[in-house]
Chains A and B, each alone.
Chain A
Protein backbone atom coordinates (compact mmCIF):
# COMPACT_ATOMS: atom_id res chain seq x y z
CA UNK A 1 0.00 0.00 0.00
CA UNK A 2 1.26 3.45 -0.94
CA UNK A 3 2.24 5.70 1.94
CA UNK A 4 3.02 9.40 2.02
CA UNK A 5 4.31 11.16 5.15
CA UNK A 6 4.83 14.90 5.34
CA UNK A 7 6.85 16.78 7.94
CA UNK A 8 6.64 18.95 9.84
CA UNK A 9 2.88 19.15 10.41
CA UNK A 10 3.14 22.90 10.91
CA UNK A 11 5.91 25.44 10.36
CA UNK A 12 6.07 29.10 11.33
CA UNK A 13 8.71 31.27 9.68
CA UNK A 14 9.59 34.92 9.73
CA UNK A 15 9.24 36.69 6.42
CA UNK A 16 12.47 36.12 4.48
CA UNK A 17 13.48 33.03 6.50
CA UNK A 18 14.11 30.16 4.07
CA UNK A 19 13.28 26.55 4.94
CA UNK A 20 12.23 23.17 3.50
CA UNK A 21 9.20 20.91 3.74
CA UNK A 22 9.63 17.15 3.53
CA UNK A 23 7.57 14.46 1.83
CA UNK A 24 8.70 10.86 2.26
CA UNK A 25 6.96 8.14 0.29
CA UNK A 26 6.67 4.39 -0.15
CA UNK A 27 5.37 3.06 -3.45
CA UNK A 28 5.95 -0.05 -5.53
CA UNK A 29 7.05 2.11 -8.44
CA UNK A 30 6.84 5.87 -8.67
CA UNK A 31 5.05 7.23 -11.70
CA UNK A 32 4.94 10.79 -10.43
CA UNK A 33 5.10 12.94 -7.30
CA UNK A 34 2.94 16.04 -7.04
CA UNK A 35 2.94 19.15 -4.91
CA UNK A 36 -0.18 21.18 -4.27
CA UNK A 37 -0.91 24.37 -2.34
CA UNK A 38 -4.19 24.69 -0.45
CA UNK A 39 -5.57 27.88 1.03
CA UNK A 40 -8.13 27.67 3.86
CA UNK A 41 -11.60 26.69 2.65
CA UNK A 42 -10.44 26.13 -0.94
CA UNK A 43 -9.48 23.24 -3.16
CA UNK A 44 -5.82 22.29 -3.71
CA UNK A 45 -3.98 24.18 -6.43
CA UNK A 46 -1.50 22.22 -8.54
CA UNK A 47 2.15 23.35 -8.25
CA UNK A 48 4.60 20.74 -9.59
CA UNK A 49 5.02 17.25 -10.96
CA UNK A 50 8.31 15.35 -10.50
CA UNK A 51 8.90 12.08 -12.32
CA UNK A 52 12.40 10.81 -11.54
CA UNK A 53 15.12 11.08 -8.90
CA UNK A 54 17.31 14.11 -9.39
CA UNK A 55 14.59 16.15 -11.06
CA UNK A 56 13.96 19.72 -9.87
CA UNK A 57 11.17 22.20 -10.63
CA UNK A 58 10.97 25.89 -9.70
CA UNK A 59 8.20 28.44 -9.46
CA UNK A 60 8.86 31.87 -7.97
CA UNK A 61 10.10 31.26 -4.40
CA UNK A 62 9.42 27.52 -4.48
CA UNK A 63 11.69 24.72 -5.63
CA UNK A 64 10.77 21.04 -5.52
CA UNK A 65 13.35 18.25 -5.59
CA UNK A 66 13.04 14.47 -5.72
CA UNK A 67 15.07 11.50 -4.52
CA UNK A 68 14.17 7.82 -4.55
CA UNK A 69 12.64 8.06 -1.05
CA UNK A 70 11.54 11.64 -0.57
CA UNK A 71 10.83 15.04 -1.99
CA UNK A 72 11.59 18.46 -0.60
CA UNK A 73 9.78 21.71 -1.19
CA UNK A 74 12.29 24.49 -0.60
CA UNK A 75 10.94 27.95 0.04
CA UNK A 76 13.35 30.83 -0.37
CA UNK A 77 12.79 34.23 1.26
CA UNK A 78 9.08 33.56 1.83
CA UNK A 79 6.41 36.25 1.97
CA UNK A 80 3.18 36.27 4.01
CA UNK A 81 1.21 35.35 0.87
CA UNK A 82 3.07 32.01 0.80
CA UNK A 83 1.16 30.99 3.93
CA UNK A 84 -0.91 27.91 3.07
CA UNK A 85 -1.02 24.16 3.52
CA UNK A 86 1.29 22.32 1.13
CA UNK A 87 0.23 18.84 0.09
CA UNK A 88 2.30 16.08 -1.44
CA UNK A 89 0.82 13.20 -3.45
CA UNK A 90 2.17 10.16 -5.30
CA UNK A 91 1.01 8.22 -8.32
CA UNK A 92 1.98 4.56 -8.20
CA UNK A 93 3.12 2.94 -11.44
CA UNK A 94 1.38 -0.30 -10.53
CA UNK A 95 -1.95 1.28 -9.70
CA UNK A 96 -4.72 3.12 -11.45
CA UNK A 97 -5.01 6.86 -12.01
CA UNK A 98 -5.54 7.80 -8.38
CA UNK A 99 -3.24 9.91 -6.22
CA UNK A 100 -2.34 9.08 -2.62
CA UNK A 101 -1.99 12.22 -0.51
CA UNK A 102 -0.05 13.10 2.62
CA UNK A 103 -1.73 15.08 5.37
CA UNK A 104 0.12 18.28 4.52
CA UNK A 105 2.35 20.90 6.11
CA UNK A 106 0.65 24.06 7.33
CA UNK A 107 3.05 26.93 6.61
CA UNK A 108 2.66 30.32 8.28
CA UNK A 109 4.87 33.26 7.28
CA UNK A 110 4.95 36.02 9.88
CA UNK A 111 5.48 39.58 8.60
Chain B
Protein backbone atom coordinates (compact mmCIF):
# COMPACT_ATOMS: atom_id res chain seq x y z
CA UNK B 1 0.00 0.00 0.00
CA UNK B 2 1.04 3.55 -0.71
CA UNK B 3 2.09 5.35 2.41
CA UNK B 4 2.35 9.11 2.74
CA UNK B 5 3.48 10.22 6.17
CA UNK B 6 3.29 13.72 7.57
CA UNK B 7 5.59 14.52 10.46
CA UNK B 8 2.96 15.94 12.83
CA UNK B 9 -0.78 15.51 13.35
CA UNK B 10 -1.18 18.69 15.40
CA UNK B 11 0.99 21.81 15.68
CA UNK B 12 0.55 25.07 17.57
CA UNK B 13 2.85 27.92 16.57
CA UNK B 14 3.12 31.59 17.38
CA UNK B 15 2.66 34.42 14.89
CA UNK B 16 5.94 35.22 13.15
CA UNK B 17 7.53 31.81 13.72
CA UNK B 18 9.10 29.89 10.85
CA UNK B 19 7.23 26.59 10.50
CA UNK B 20 8.33 23.42 8.73
CA UNK B 21 5.86 20.71 7.69
CA UNK B 22 7.47 17.50 6.49
CA UNK B 23 6.08 14.81 4.22
CA UNK B 24 7.58 11.48 3.18
CA UNK B 25 6.22 8.94 0.67
CA UNK B 26 7.45 5.39 0.17
CA UNK B 27 6.18 4.57 -3.33
CA UNK B 28 8.82 6.26 -5.49
CA UNK B 29 6.24 8.75 -6.79
CA UNK B 30 7.54 11.57 -8.97
CA UNK B 31 4.80 14.06 -8.05
CA UNK B 32 4.23 15.52 -4.62
CA UNK B 33 1.72 18.13 -3.53
CA UNK B 34 0.81 20.37 -0.61
CA UNK B 35 -2.83 21.36 -0.13
CA UNK B 36 -4.62 23.25 2.57
CA UNK B 37 -8.21 22.48 3.49
CA UNK B 38 -10.60 24.99 5.01
CA UNK B 39 -14.34 24.67 5.70
CA UNK B 40 -16.40 25.77 2.72
CA UNK B 41 -13.33 26.23 0.51
CA UNK B 42 -12.33 22.66 -0.10
CA UNK B 43 -8.77 21.60 -0.88
CA UNK B 44 -6.60 24.30 -2.43
CA UNK B 45 -3.21 23.59 -3.95
CA UNK B 46 -0.30 25.51 -2.45
CA UNK B 47 2.71 24.05 -4.29
CA UNK B 48 3.61 20.90 -6.14
CA UNK B 49 6.76 19.24 -7.35
CA UNK B 50 7.21 16.84 -10.28
CA UNK B 51 10.87 16.04 -9.67
CA UNK B 52 13.68 16.55 -7.20
CA UNK B 53 14.56 20.22 -6.80
CA UNK B 54 11.64 21.18 -9.08
CA UNK B 55 8.64 23.11 -7.81
CA UNK B 56 5.60 24.82 -9.25
CA UNK B 57 3.23 27.30 -7.64
CA UNK B 58 -0.30 26.18 -7.08
CA UNK B 59 -3.34 28.35 -6.56
CA UNK B 60 -2.38 29.93 -3.21
CA UNK B 61 1.45 30.05 -2.84
CA UNK B 62 1.67 33.39 -1.06
CA UNK B 63 3.33 33.11 2.35
CA UNK B 64 4.66 29.61 1.66
CA UNK B 65 7.75 28.02 0.16
CA UNK B 66 8.74 24.40 -0.45
CA UNK B 67 11.79 22.22 -0.66
CA UNK B 68 12.38 18.89 -2.36
CA UNK B 69 15.97 17.71 -1.96
CA UNK B 70 15.13 14.00 -2.17
CA UNK B 71 12.50 12.23 -4.23
CA UNK B 72 10.65 10.84 -1.24
CA UNK B 73 10.52 14.03 0.83
CA UNK B 74 8.62 17.29 0.29
CA UNK B 75 8.69 20.07 2.85
CA UNK B 76 6.33 23.02 3.23
CA UNK B 77 7.74 26.13 4.89
CA UNK B 78 5.79 28.98 6.38
CA UNK B 79 8.38 31.76 6.44
CA UNK B 80 6.55 33.88 9.04
CA UNK B 81 3.40 32.22 10.30
CA UNK B 82 0.23 34.27 10.48
CA UNK B 83 -3.16 33.52 12.02
CA UNK B 84 -4.77 33.21 8.56
CA UNK B 85 -2.54 30.21 7.94
CA UNK B 86 -4.37 28.25 10.61
CA UNK B 87 -5.68 25.28 8.63
CA UNK B 88 -5.47 21.56 7.87
CA UNK B 89 -2.45 20.88 5.66
CA UNK B 90 -2.46 17.80 3.45
CA UNK B 91 0.44 16.28 1.57
CA UNK B 92 -0.14 13.97 -1.40
CA UNK B 93 1.87 12.06 -3.99
CA UNK B 94 1.25 10.40 -7.36
CA UNK B 95 3.02 8.77 -10.25
CA UNK B 96 3.93 10.95 -13.23
CA UNK B 97 1.08 10.85 -15.74
CA UNK B 98 -1.38 9.32 -13.28
CA UNK B 99 -3.21 11.93 -11.32
CA UNK B 100 -4.83 9.77 -8.68
CA UNK B 101 -3.09 11.15 -5.65
CA UNK B 102 -2.59 9.47 -2.29
CA UNK B 103 -2.81 11.62 0.81
CA UNK B 104 -1.17 11.73 4.19
CA UNK B 105 -3.16 11.95 7.40
CA UNK B 106 -2.97 15.73 7.56
CA UNK B 107 -1.42 18.28 9.93
CA UNK B 108 -3.77 20.52 11.86
CA UNK B 109 -1.81 23.76 12.28
CA UNK B 110 -2.97 26.47 14.66
CA UNK B 111 -1.18 29.83 14.63
CA UNK B 112 -1.81 31.93 17.74
Contact = CB atoms under 8 A, between A and B. Distances in A.
A97 B103 contact: no
B99 A99 contact: yes
B106 A98 contact: no
A45 interface: yes
B33 A98 contact: yes
Contact count band on B: 20 to 34
Interface residues of A, number: 22
A87 B90 CA distance: 14
Contacts of B43: 44, 87, 89, 101
Most chain A C-beta atoms within 10 Å of own C-beta, residue among B40, B43, B58, B90? B43
Contacts, number: 58
A41 B108 contact: yes
Nearest to B94: A97
A101 B102 CA distance: 14
A104 to B, nearest CB: 7
Contacts of B105: 42-43
Contacts of B40: 103
A22 interface: no
A36 B101 CA distance: 10
A61 interface: no
Interface of A: 31-32, 34, 36, 41-46, 49, 87, 89, 91, 96-99, 101-104
21 contacts: A32-B100, A34-B99, A34-B100, A34-B101, A43-B103, A44-B90, A45-B103, A46-B101, A87-B42, A87-B43, A96-B48, A96-B50, A97-B94, A97-B96, A98-B45, A98-B48, A98-B58, A99-B45, A101-B35, A101-B42, A101-B44
CB-CB nearest 5 A-B residue pairs = A43-B103, A91-B99, A103-B42, A101-B43, A43-B106
